[in-house]
């Protein structure tokens, strides 16, 4: 059994763990000019999600790694799938900005992918939308370039996995 002196010493040393930082290894490619972020978003009735991947390398020596992902339960109030998809796009934009800041690479390229053609139309068109849609489209435009949003078939969308609760 541990003596109270040893226990107190151990307890005090736990605080020192807050200062411990272990850098995360992202890529075997040192040339950061080849790095780009690819953000996938998806939603369904019960949840919405986003995944951020780092792609690095040249032609036949390409590496793709999951950097960060987030999934959220859909609100209790029933919402349409396109609105949930738009919420997924917002968390994707927030995650991308967070990762870009974390990596500290000023000119890091990024691409956003969604399988929702309705959401893509909301993001890309300069129309007036109802307040809910308009607020989220506005946030999305502040965080991303509308031209960086592209369509991905649902069967090829990796954000489909966390949006299903996996």
Task: State in words which class domain 4-163 has.
Answer: alpha beta
Its pTM stands at 0.81
Question: Based on the number of CB atoms within 10 Å of its own CB, is 30 exposed (0-12), middle (13-18) or buried (19 or more)?
Answer: exposed
Structure tokens, 2 = 């541990």
Q: Where are the domains of the chain?
A: 4-163
- CA–CA gap between residue 49 and residue 12 (Å, rounded): 39
Kindly report the backbone phi and psi dihedral angles of residue 134, in degrees, each rounded to the nearest multiple of 5, phi listed first. Answer: -60, -45
pLDDT tens per residue, range 47-92: 999 999 999 887 778 888 899 999 999 999 999 999 999 999 999 9
Confidence at residue 87, expressed as pLDDT on a 0 to 100 scale: 96
pLDDT tens per residue, range 133-158: 999 999 999 999 999 999 999 888 88
């Amino acid at each position: 059994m541990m003596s109270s002196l040893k226990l107190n010493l151990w307890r005090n040393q736990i605080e020192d763990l807050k200062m411990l930082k272990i850098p995360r290894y992202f890529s075997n490619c040192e040339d950061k000019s080849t790095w780009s972020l690819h953000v996938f978003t998806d939603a369904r009735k019960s949840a919405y999600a986003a995944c951020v991947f780092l792609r690095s390398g040249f032609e036949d020596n390409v590496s793709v790694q999951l950097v960060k992902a987030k999934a959220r339960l859909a609100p209790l109030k029933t919402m349409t799938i396109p609105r949930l998809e738009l919420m997924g796009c917002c968390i994707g934009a927030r995650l991308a900005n967070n990762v870009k800041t974390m990596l500290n690479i000023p000119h890091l390229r990024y691409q956003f992918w969604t399988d929702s053609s309705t959401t893509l139309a909301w993001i890309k068109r300069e129309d007036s939308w109802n307040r809910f849609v308009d607020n989220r489209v506005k946030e999305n435009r502040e965080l991303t370039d509308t031209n960086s949003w592209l369509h991905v078939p649902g069967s090829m969308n990796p954000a489909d996995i966390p949006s299903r609760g996996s």
